[in-house]
A and B are shown apart, each in its own frame.
Chain A
Amino acid sequence: MLARIESLRIDGSAAIAAAPDVAALEELRVRLLGRKSELTSILRGISKLEPSERGPVGSGANAARAALEAELEDRLVELEGAEVERSLVGESIDVTLPGAPPVATGHLHLLTRTRREIEDVFVGLGYRVLEGPEIEHDFYNFTALNHPPGHPARHAQDSFYVDPATLAEGVVNDHGLAPGPQEVLFRTHTSPMQVRAMESQAPPIFIIVPGTVYRRDTIDATHSPMFRQVEGLAVAEGISLTDLAGTLEHAAKALFGTERKTRLKPDYFPFTEPSVQVDVSCFACEGSGRLADGTRDSLCKGSGWIEILGAGMVDPNVFGFVEGAYDPETTQGFAFGIGIERVAMLKHRIPDLRLFFENDVRFLGQFA
């Protein structure tokens, strides 16, 4: 009897291993372990055996049954797995077809992105970001920035004036300012916020002022009546021109790459003294003036340097226009102005200023 049980187990194992599919395996389960199977009938007939045989036959048959059940289960997992795999073959897709995103890819305007880059550089240096009015009093735009009436620099920046009849009543006269057709204008630079900020806060003051400015220029590839600047102002005890040089070199490296160098040249602005122009070493030709193929670099016009901004030490006369804590004799600070369009055009090799204002989605979509 025990030999028969052993042979049933061996034959069963072989049949299970050979079962070709889940259906055949189910038939096999019935044949091997079902109510009518030989193993079942052996177990059922145990009571009829000699008492001495009952023990060994019972445990042998139960063990054989357990072994076959386990093998059936393993084989079932194996066969089912194979069957799922087979069915998946028919469900193949072309994974190289384009994806279908739930939303389209939007873009910030490159000028917004560039403004944020500049803001973040100076926020990292401990500056706060202020904003000021675009429609401004002559006092802040010119007079308090050391452009007295009749000063040539007033004419260098041809201004748009506001028709005073279109302003709210009293916005000019209530402040004791001379009412006149040129009293209110579109700010020609972000510098008026230097004075506004200093009127509101005693030194030390470290601020940048991003914003839109206006000049009466006809639109072409390099001129626009409306463009953007970031003003900077740092006033604290002992601040010097070398601090200006270091700060702007840091900014140039952050914006244009860590290998960049800067150089300072004499310049003139009525509201800074000394005044400097800051050049950055050209990033197209690495400062050599020649491109890899030996041709003259058009970005820096072969000079190896690109003018990026104007700056200087705040003119004592400007401090003199601030009432309060800014003594022109003892206060020191520096100021600078960066053109946002200019930075974006240089960094991304944009040839024409008008592209910024056309808002063609094929342009907007190039800048992530």
Chain B
Amino acid sequence: MKVPFSWLTEYCDPGLEPEQVAELLSMRAVEVERVTRIGVPSTDGFVVGRVISAERHPNADRLRVCEVETGEGVQTVVCGAPNVAAGQTVAMALPGSVMPDGSKLKKAKLRGVVSNGMILSERELGLSDEHEGILVFAGEHEPGVRLDSVLPIVDAVLELDLNPNRVDCMGVYGVAREVHAITGEPLADPPWDLDAEATGSDGVETLASVRVEVPRLCPRFSARAFTGVEIRSSPAWLKARLTAAGMRPISNVVDITNYVMLMTAQPLHAFDLDKLPGGELIIRAASEGEKMTTLDGVERSFDSETVLVCDREQPAGIAGIMGGLVSEVSDETSRVLLEVATWNGANILRTSALLGLRSDASARYEKQLHPELALRAQRLASRLLVELCGATLEPGTIDVTAEIPERHRITLRGERADSLLGVELAVEESTQHLARLGFDPAPHAGVDIEVTVPVHRHYDVTREVDVIEEVGRLHGFDKLPRTLPAHAALVGGLSPEQQGRRRAEDVMRDLGFDEIVAWAFVDPSLADRLRLPAEDRRRSAIATANPISKELSQMRTMLLGGLLDAVRHNVARGAQRVCVFGSGRIYLPERPAEASENEVDAAIGVLAGSFAGRIASPALEPHRIGAVAIGGLAPDSWVTTQTEVEAAGFFALKGALEVLATQLGGAVAFVAATEPFLHLGRAARVEADGRAIGWIGELHPLVSRAWDLPPANAFELDLAPLLAAAAAGNEVYEDVTTFPAVLQDIAVVIADDVSAQRVREAALAGGGELLAAADIFDVYRGVQVGENRKSLALRLEFRASDRTLTDAEVTAVRKRIEEELARLGGSLRG
């Protein structure tokens, strides 16, 4: 909403600069986004002039040489406008004036005649786009009068950023009321108080009729008839106001409807009565698929909830949104039917969204206007039509009204207001604020106030708390003291899960990974690029019904896609080593577990996708952590050779994952497995507490190729089960110092296809309780161990918690280990 400052101060003038008024409005009422200056940089040199004579220029057919009375003598001015004529009262710029574009007007010789100034068009003054001819006053001003005293040739415009609850401030008078409430400066009487005199002889009832078929969607429809209307250009002051408010002047009748809307917030529509067959209007719901061409020349099609204003034969406008071409006011119009209606706001909003069509009218109607406003607008518009268009108002007003809502009466309890605002407000102060806002406050039981909500705030202020906001804001929210709540009984903090997640993220960072944040939306083609087979459940993604684009239309079921996109971005920009991780949710079409009774206290289960609340969430959103590494985990440096860096592959990332688990106080196991997007021989399932929680592996070469990447390794895990299996913070002491351990190294020669895991598990099985650890520390393949065989070196740690082991005991245990290894086909070497 653009509010011309000169217009605003006509109704309430606090004698302040526009910027000061803007600041007050922002702090106490409605946000003023910016203040812009329009018009001429300085008003000096701009005066009213009277053309004494206008003769053809001796040397140019299209120029006139005029003698103009300027108050300080008669000046000779050369003018190119076709409409200049003797006797006109015009706007003049004398030499030295600075024009709106910043250029300075000088005396100039035009085809041999010296011109002492310029007769101005509306466009030259920034008042409108009119430049066909000069601005001609109706004759009411004396020559020599400063132009800025009769026209707003310089002005400021306050641009309001209005919230949907303040439709009253979509009218200049509403904003003036706020300035009045804030400053206490007098507010001029409402411009709609006086009505025009109905001097016609026909009466509206004989000229027109209205039938409302949908009273629920049209609480009020009023219409007045005007005859003898002279369509012409609006006077300069009206054009100036509309232009400053951001609207284009068209013709007097249309300009008046716009002006009244900008003043009152109530939209109006003028019909050419002669183009309405029989003067009939029918307000009805559209039939499904019905079509009409709107004023903007677009043919539109409607659904059955759309309300149309129709003549006897066809639709004449979309209710509350836009008129139609058929009965538009034109230069030939001489009889006008003026519609001022009240529509159902929710329906206007719905229809406007459906059609993708918003207008100045719909922006007001959609916020719901009170039916009372319609008659205010009728009165003000009638006066202007009579005054500016020479129209005759026909007696009577067609007024088809459903129920007019009663004004709300609310009791404001002083105690409640003080408790909510946290300060004690004097009854006198609150009363004054409410009186200025038009709430008719009356004292009630000493400290309370009874108010009657004015119609322009009817839908915004309905409860005591809304009235408290009114007195609070006018008192000044910025004046409130700062206090902290007293709530000693409460304990804050992160849940163990949230602490665990922070720790997991910190470990990844400390291992040299950069955290990325990826889109939760993915392209449906991602599943193909990851080679997911048709039956893979990760293809069942939750989809957006109204995506911005296909690329962002599904919700991710894995973190991997986003991680790969981030790696590609960096590799494409020359990064050699990219190690990134992500910590975030995936979105699955599964039913989450119902939250436990005391979810807020426990705060457990959030990472698994179980949230507080009576109704379970519609989808499952478990938290995951995933990583992709290209190049070595260790940074490239002048000490490291390139080969060392490249050597870091699967096992480097596996090591990082093991560190992650260990740092969380848990352990993970790895079982050879396949995933469609991983190298079939270099992939594993990751388990915690015997439960699958994710995967790790080298990316399938075709997947790497799809993202233009060199070989890369990746993992992805569910965080909740990893943390559930972790004991960080709850470790129990184990005595490892009183009785020393016996360490022995063995080398097991075994077939290549027996996994290290199986060898280690066999050793642990044979070792029983006395074998505390069996760690693989070397792998050897070569002629000495034979083809398709390998040698695994294990360090065995024998220990008992209650005695020092004897050689005989160790030998016996070791024999059982050898037996277990032999079952796998292994033999000890050396």
* Chain A interface (Cβ < 8 Å from any Cβ of B): 97-109, 111-112, 116, 119, 122-137, 139-140, 149-153, 155-156, 160-168, 170-172, 175, 177, 181, 184, 186, 193, 195-197, 199-201, 204-207, 212, 214, 216, 218, 225-226, 234, 236, 238-243, 245-247, 249-250, 263-268, 273-277, 313, 315-316, 323, 332, 356-362, 364-365
Select from chain B the residue with minimum beta-carbon distance to A105: B512
Whether A126 lies near B487 (C-beta < 8 A) is yes
> What are 21 A-B pairs with beta-carbon distances under 8 A?
A98-B637, A101-B635, A126-B490, A133-B621, A160-B546, A163-B544, A166-B542, A171-B616, A200-B612, A201-B600, A226-B521, A234-B485, A240-B419, A266-B27, A273-B466, A313-B465, A315-B465, A356-B517, A357-B517, A359-B569, A364-B516
Contact partner of B502 among A116, A193, A265, CB < 8 A? A116
Contact partner of A106 among B510, B544, B548, B609, CB < 8 A? B510
Whether A357 lies near B519 (C-beta < 8 A) is yes
Whether B423 lies near A242 (C-beta < 8 A) is yes
Whether B478 lies near A264 (C-beta < 8 A) is yes
Interface-lining segment among B393-401, B579-587, B722-730? B579-587
Given contacts A104-B577, A162-B543, contact A263 B505 (CB under 8 A): no
**B366 contacts A by Cβ under 8 Å:** yes
Contact partner of B619 among A103, A133, A181, CB < 8 A? A133
CB distance from B269 to the nearest CB of A (A): 22
* Chain B interface (Cβ < 8 Å from any Cβ of A): 26-31, 163-166, 345-347, 349-350, 353, 366-367, 419-423, 463, 465-466, 468-469, 472-473, 477-478, 480-487, 489-495, 498, 502, 505-506, 508-521, 540-548, 552, 555, 565-566, 569-570, 573, 575, 577-580, 583, 585, 587, 589-592, 595, 597-601, 603, 606, 609, 611-621, 633-635, 637-640
Contact partner of B485 among A108, A239, A316, A356, CB < 8 A? A239
Select from chain A the residue with minimum beta-carbon distance to B488: A126
CB distance from A298 to the nearest CB of B (A): 15
CB distance from A231 to the nearest CB of B (A): 13
Whether A161 lies near B598 (C-beta < 8 A) is no
Whether A332 lies near B419 (C-beta < 8 A) is yes
- Chain B residues within an 8 Å CB radius of A107: 509, 514-515
Whether B612 lies near A360 (C-beta < 8 A) is no
Q: How far is the CA of A74 from the CA of B613 in the complex (A)?
A: 82
Whether B483 lies near A108 (C-beta < 8 A) is no
Q: How far is the CA of A205 from the CA of B508 in the complex (A)?
A: 34
- Chain A residues within an 8 Å CB radius of B514: 106-107, 109, 359, 361, 364-365
Given contacts A243-B485, A268-B166, A360-B573, contact A136 B634 (CB under 8 A): no
Select from chain A the residue with minimum beta-carbon distance to B602: A200
Whether A184 lies near B618 (C-beta < 8 A) is yes
Q: How far is the CA of A186 from the CA of B463 in the complex (A)?
A: 31
Select from chain B the residue with minimum beta-carbon distance to A196: B613
Whether B587 lies near A197 (C-beta < 8 A) is no
- Chain B residues within an 8 Å CB radius of A275: 469
Whether B494 lies near A129 (C-beta < 8 A) is yes
The 10 A-B residue pairs whose C-beta atoms are closest, nearest first, are: A150-B346, A240-B422, A242-B422, A196-B613, A133-B617, A268-B163, A104-B512, A274-B469, A246-B482, A264-B477
Given contacts A135-B617, A241-B480, contact A226 B519 (CB under 8 A): yes
Q: How far is the CA of A156 from the CA of B512 in the complex (A)?
A: 43
Contact partner of B492 among A139, A206, A242, CB < 8 A? A206
Given contacts A132-B611, A360-B569, contact A160 B599 (CB under 8 A): no
CB distance from B565 to the nearest CB of A (A): 8
Select from chain A the residue with minimum beta-carbon distance to B513: A106
Whether B600 lies near A130 (C-beta < 8 A) is yes
Whether B421 lies near A171 (C-beta < 8 A) is no
Select from chain A the residue with minimum beta-carbon distance to B570: A361
Select from chain A the residue with minimum beta-carbon distance to B346: A150
CB distance from B651 to the nearest CB of A (A): 15
Whether A112 lies near B515 (C-beta < 8 A) is yes
CB distance from A309 to the nearest CB of B (A): 14
Q: Name, among A106, A199, A268, A364, the residue most crowded by chain B CB atoms within 10 Å (CB to CB).
A: A106
Q: How far is the CA of A105 from the CA of B511 in the complex (A)?
A: 8
Whether B545 lies near A124 (C-beta < 8 A) is no
Whether A216 lies near B346 (C-beta < 8 A) is no
Q: How far is the CA of A177 from the CA of B617 in the complex (A)?
A: 13
Q: How far is the CA of A162 from the CA of B587 in the complex (A)?
A: 12
Given contacts A106-B509, A201-B601, contact A359 B517 (CB under 8 A): yes
CB distance from B259 to the nearest CB of A (A): 25
- Chain A residues within an 8 Å CB radius of B542: 135, 162-163, 166-167
CB distance from B822 to the nearest CB of A (A): 41
Whether A200 lies near B30 (C-beta < 8 A) is no
- Chain B residues within an 8 Å CB radius of A98: 637-638
- Chain A residues within an 8 Å CB radius of B575: 361
Q: How far is the CA of A247 from the CA of B492 in the complex (A)?
A: 15
- Chain A residues within an 8 Å CB radius of B615: 137, 139-140, 175, 177
Whether B555 lies near A135 (C-beta < 8 A) is yes
Q: How far is the CA of A78 from the CA of B573 in the complex (A)?
A: 59
Whether B600 lies near A128 (C-beta < 8 A) is yes
Q: How far is the CA of A139 from the CA of B423 in the complex (A)?
A: 34
Whether A97 lies near B638 (C-beta < 8 A) is yes
- Chain B residues within an 8 Å CB radius of A97: 638
Q: How far is the CA of A329 from the CA of B19 in the complex (A)?
A: 41
CB distance from B523 to the nearest CB of A (A): 14
Whether B591 lies near A171 (C-beta < 8 A) is yes
- Chain B residues within an 8 Å CB radius of A164: 545
Given contacts A100-B639, A242-B481, contact A123 B493 (CB under 8 A): yes
- Chain B residues within an 8 Å CB radius of A127: 492
Select from chain A the residue with minimum beta-carbon distance to B581: A106
- Chain B residues within an 8 Å CB radius of A250: 484
CB distance from A237 to the nearest CB of B (A): 9
Contact partner of B546 among A137, A167, A216, CB < 8 A? A216
Whether B477 lies near A266 (C-beta < 8 A) is yes
CB distance from B633 to the nearest CB of A (A): 7
Q: How far is the CA of A172 from the CA of B517 in the complex (A)?
A: 30
Whether B614 lies near A199 (C-beta < 8 A) is yes
Select from chain A the residue with minimum beta-carbon distance to B563: A359
Q: How far is the CA of A164 from the CA of B691 in the complex (A)?
A: 31
Whether A206 lies near B517 (C-beta < 8 A) is no
Q: How far is the CA of A210 from the CA of B679 in the complex (A)?
A: 38
Select from chain B the residue with minimum beta-carbon distance to A128: B492
Whether B603 lies near A130 (C-beta < 8 A) is yes
Whether A168 lies near B477 (C-beta < 8 A) is no
Given contacts A152-B367, A163-B544, A200-B599, contact A129 B484 (CB under 8 A): no
Given contacts A105-B512, A106-B509, A106-B512, contact A123 B492 (CB under 8 A): yes
- Chain A residues within an 8 Å CB radius of B601: 201
Select from chain A the residue with minimum beta-carbon distance to B23: A303
Q: How far is the CA of A362 from the CA of B367 in the complex (A)?
A: 47
Select from chain B the residue with minimum beta-carbon distance to A269: B163
CB distance from B689 to the nearest CB of A (A): 24
- Chain A residues within an 8 Å CB radius of B609: 133
Contact partner of B27 among A131, A265, A273, A332, CB < 8 A? A265
CB distance from A337 to the nearest CB of B (A): 15
Given contacts A168-B589, A243-B485, A266-B469, 16 further A-B contacts (CB under 8 A): A103-B511, A106-B508, A108-B509, A130-B612, A135-B542, A150-B350, A161-B545, A162-B618, A177-B615, A184-B618, A207-B600, A268-B165, A274-B465, A274-B472, A359-B565, A364-B515
Select from chain B the residue with minimum beta-carbon distance to A156: B164
Contact partner of A100 among B421, B478, B640, CB < 8 A? B640
Whether A162 lies near B544 (C-beta < 8 A) is yes
- Chain B residues within an 8 Å CB radius of A126: 487, 490-492
Whether A263 lies near B481 (C-beta < 8 A) is no
CB distance from B232 to the nearest CB of A (A): 38
Whether B600 lies near A205 (C-beta < 8 A) is yes
Whether A100 lies near B489 (C-beta < 8 A) is no
Q: Name, among B463, B481, B545, the residue most crowded by chain A CB atoms within 10 Å (CB to CB).
A: B545
